[in-house]
Amino acid sequence: MNSTSKQLSPAELAAQCINQTNKSVFLTGKAGTGKTTFLRSVIEHTHKNAIIVAPTGIAAINAGGVTIHSQFQLPFGMFVPDNNAQSNNAFVKINTPISVVKSMQMGERKRKLLREVELIIIDEVSMLRADLLDGIDLVLKYIKRENSKAFGGAQVLFIGDLMQLPPVVKDDEWHILKQYYNSVYFFDALVLKNNKPIYIELDKIYRQSDSRFINLLNNLRNNKITQADNELLNSFYKPNFNPSTALNTITLTTHNHKADALNKDALNALTGKSFFYKASIEGEFKEHTYPLEETLELKVGSQIMFIKNDSSGKQLFFNGKIGVVKSLTEADIEVEFDDHSMPFLVEKHQWENKKYELNEITNDIEEQVIGTFIHYPIKLAWAITVHKSQGLTFEKAILDVNKAFAAGQVYVALSRLKSLDGLILTAPIQFNSIKQDDILVHYSENKPENEEIKHTIDIEKKYYLQSELDKTYQFSELDYHLKTHLDSYDKSEERSNKQKQKDWAKKIYHAFEELKLNADKFRNQIHQIFQNQTHTLVETIANRNQSANHYFSPLLKNMSKEILTLIETLKNEKQIKTYLTELLELENAFYKQSLQIEKISLILNNIVSNTNFSKQQLKLNLNQAERLKLISDSIVITKQSDGGIESKNSLKSKKIKAEKKPKKEKIDTKQESFLLYKNGHTLFEIAKARNLTEGTIANHLGHYVSLGMIAVSQFVTKEKVAKIIEVSKKHDTVNSSALKLELGENYSYLEIKFAIASIKNLS
């Protein structure tokens, strides 16, 4: 597969890797290289269903995403990839694979969403611990039912600068974790051992332009500080310096209490009246995720800084720009800068707390705003901690970091500055306070060159296209939905509205069977083309897929339209709500198939023409305005009563209560299965005869195993029952999924179900 001759930038390589492969990516770069800008671009342009997560609440708000723990419902405490792990320390909580699955209380809506996730963006990855990443992998494999693939088959984009804030791990935790991990950093997670992400580094620095400063920062990152670097750095030490004389200059310190004290003392030193401004908070917005303090106290003369870029387009301020309060009223804050620009009134900004929802009509993952925090985007700025300065840019700063307690703190503090001209040190910096972790330095030194990255992407591109084409034209999910739907016409009441449509359902299924047969033939052709690789492989595949698209898409859309037409025909009938819901779900399966064909067609065209993907283009190609209108109408109907659309007269008539007809006595469904079993039928035969799944029949018969009316040995060997009971007691659970995780592939879910039933009988 030939790659384009154009020299691609690291950002373009990363975008190509995300949109044209399924290979995970670690996107890094020094401070000010545009990592956040890249994140925004990916979300805007990728064709994949994507979510953003981050290790902390504030990082998640800033990234426009959600926290890792909330999205994946991971319990707090460390994760140990060993079901037998135990802690001798009452203050150290251990979560194992089996305990995570056992305690999981994830609703079906969130499970559906995670099954549709194709791309997970993890921001501020420097703070992500290896064990937490393995926890994410466990949840995704479990929910997506893909144990053989890392992250259940989802692609992961890791974004961050490892030389900045490190993961937090206590000594007691590391004492246990070091038995499983080489380090606490995300890249040493077990899930990445055989699935290393492509390392791509953004190298264009937008914040600094001073070559002396850039070289100094590079040497700091790589533990290659020279004597000349040390002398240069410490030449900015100013003994007996008085910070109060430095206007528009912020102090960066290492501890919260010190920064708070400096701000409080400076504010109290100002004469004049204090004004208090309170945030407006609506919906769900937890206090620990507030982007700034809820109540802001200011006086005229207060030194403040902005914590957001100017979104008006006027570029009046940027994230970290420092100014001074010129005047205050109950409603207005006027700020001026020392660059001779005009003073201006600060406007309030809105931060949003979001969660992700799956739109079951369009199959898109959408952001839902669940809370807002509205406040002036400023805070007191005589001092700030190094930790809270991440992402900010300063013209001038006083560094009080000679007692830095974490590797990289000095680097983080220095990299906030635009140039050395704005630097003041409160004390000389010692070598030991600026030494980076050797593990990080070694990892970064082994990053690949651009040509190697390009070569890897070309290989992964082939795998991705082959996999996506095979998945697109397999039609297995749609086949499953249609079969299940056809099998559901099993009622004896021939007069019901649903049963009247059984011939329609047979007709649409037989038409689909022919379509699936042709899809299977096309898949075989595609396999042959990939086996006989040529230098025009992508072009050949794109041309063949275009023909397939022209054949399959109209037929699929016609079937979809048939379902919507039936919904339109039936919508005023009585007792139709459940059936309409079933039809809507079936139509959605057809839509997903059409969407997948359009998506792979667009991806292939973009690769051939070397153009960027456009979500808007995909929506235009689908041209689903008519579909959305019909579905919207149908959803309104299904949310109303079982009696269809009600007129005013029918609503009035509801006031007259009719006598209820006595219900026919129903035969216990479990008993039906039991009687068939007693008559010599196998589990498989019962399932087939009753149009139910083997799992359902197993539940029925398991009930009688639990009562002691059927011997468990009829379904499971004594040895396996003993092992299942042993594991169940050991982990104090009868959760079949949790037990399967421990027992492995040699034990089926049905065997575990029957063994659990026997445990209940023993009890």
Specify the 3-state DSSP secondary structure of 542: helix
d(CA 26, CA 161): 10
d(CA 353, CA 710): 53
Strand order in the sheet with 250-253: 383-385, 250-253, 397-400, 423-425
Q: Which residue type is seen at 364? A: D
Mean pLDDT in the chain? 85
pLDDT of residue 739 exceeding 90, the answer is: no
Give me the pLDDT at residue 298, please.
96
185 secondary structure, DSSP code? B
- What average pLDDT does the segment 684-703 reach? 81
Cα–Cα nearest to 243, from 461, 400, 116? 400
Contacts (Cβ under 8 Å, ≥6 apart) of 604: 465, 538, 541, 542, 545
Give me the pLDDT at residue 371, please.
93
| Max Cα–Cα distance, the chain, nearest Å | 97
Give me the pLDDT at residue 728, please.
84
- Low-confidence winner among 89-93, 400-404, 506-510, 737-741 (lowest mean pLDDT): 400-404
Name the phi and psi angles at 625, rounded to 5.
-60, -45
d(CA 231, CA 352): 45
- Residues 221-236 pLDDT 10s: 777 888 888 888 889 9
Give me the pLDDT at residue 703, please.
86
- What average pLDDT does the segment 376-401 reach? 88
- Low-confidence winner among 28-32, 293-297, 349-353 (lowest mean pLDDT): 28-32
Give me the pLDDT at residue 124, please.
92
- Residues 268-303 pLDDT 10s: 999 989 999 999 999 999 898 899 999 999 999 999
Give me the pLDDT at residue 50, please.
94
Give me the pLDDT at residue 657, please.
38
pLDDT grade, residue 641 (50/70/90)? Answer: very low
Q: What pairs with residue 53 in β-bridges?
A: 66, 122
- Low-confidence winner among 136-150, 270-284, 481-495 (lowest mean pLDDT): 481-495
Contacts (Cβ under 8 Å, ≥6 apart) of 451: none
d(CA 721, CA 712): 8
* Residue that is written with structure tokens 């460390």 in the block: 78
- What average pLDDT does the segment 250-260 reach? 90
CB atoms within 10 A of CB 129: 25
pLDDT grade, residue 564 (50/70/90)? Answer: confident
Q: Which CATH architecture has domain 10-206+444-449?
A: 3-Layer(aba) Sandwich (3.40)
Give me the pLDDT at residue 356, please.
92
Give me the pLDDT at residue 163, please.
81
Specify the 3-state DSSP secondary structure of 564: helix
Q: What percent of the chain has pLDDT over 90?
A: 39
Name the phi and psi angles at 385, rounded to 5.
-80, 155
- What average pLDDT does the segment 419-435 reach? 78
pLDDT grade, residue 659 (50/70/90)? Answer: very low
Give me the pLDDT at residue 197, please.
96
Contacts (Cβ under 8 Å, ≥6 apart) of 343: 326, 334, 335, 336
Q: What pairs with residue 546 in β-bridges?
A: none
Q: What angle do CA 158, 163, 166 make, to 5 degrees?
A: 75
Q: Is the distance from CB of 265 to CB of 341 less than 8 angstroms?
A: no
Half-sphere exposure of 441 (CA within 13 A, CB side): 15
d(CA 139, CA 129): 16
Pick the more confident residue, 141 or 310.
141
Contacts (Cβ under 8 Å, ≥6 apart) of 711: 705
518 secondary structure, DSSP code? H
Give me the pLDDT at residue 403, please.
65
- What average pLDDT does the segment 384-400 reach? 85
pLDDT grade, residue 135 (50/70/90)? Answer: very high
- What average pLDDT does the segment 461-485 reach? 92
Specify the 3-state DSSP secondary structure of 89: coil
d(CA 27, CA 24): 10
Indicate if the alpha-carbon torsion angle 165, 168, 171, 174 is positive or negative: negative
d(CA 158, CA 17): 13
- What average pLDDT does the segment 43-47 reach? 87
Give me the pLDDT at residue 206, please.
62
pLDDT of residue 255 exceeding 80, the answer is: yes
pLDDT grade, residue 404 (50/70/90)? Answer: low
Give me the pLDDT at residue 468, please.
93
d(CA 632, CA 288): 39
pLDDT grade, residue 433 (50/70/90)? Answer: low
pLDDT of residue 655 exceeding 50, the answer is: no
- Low-confidence winner among 11-15, 23-27, 547-551, 648-652 (lowest mean pLDDT): 648-652
List C-alpha distances in Å: 640 to 109, 573, 576, 736.
Answer: 21, 12, 10, 37
Kindly compute the dihedral angle of the four CA atoms of residues 489, 492, 493, 498, in this order, to the nearest 10 degrees: 0
- Residues 714-729 pLDDT 10s: 888 888 988 888 888 8
- Low-confidence winner among 133-142, 201-210, 360-369, 630-639 (lowest mean pLDDT): 630-639
Give me the pLDDT at residue 474, please.
92
193 secondary structure, DSSP code? S
Highest-confidence range of 551-565, 572-586, 644-658, by mean pLDDT? Answer: 551-565
Give me the pLDDT at residue 490, please.
77
pLDDT of residue 32 exceeding 50, the answer is: yes
Give me the pLDDT at residue 336, please.
92
pLDDT of residue 644 exceeding 60, the answer is: no
- Low-confidence winner among 44-53, 266-275, 499-508, 685-694 (lowest mean pLDDT): 685-694
Give the E-state strand segments of 206-311 in sequence order: 250-253, 275-278, 280-283, 295-298, 303-306
Q: Which residues in the chain are classed under CATH 3.40.50?
A: 10-206+444-449
Give me the pLDDT at residue 658, please.
40
Give me the pLDDT at residue 629, please.
67
- Residues 83-104 pLDDT 10s: 988 877 777 889 999 999 988 8
Pick the more confident residue, 30 or 636.
30
pLDDT grade, residue 623 (50/70/90)? Answer: low
Q: Is the distance from CB of 215 to CB of 226 less than 8 angstroms?
A: no
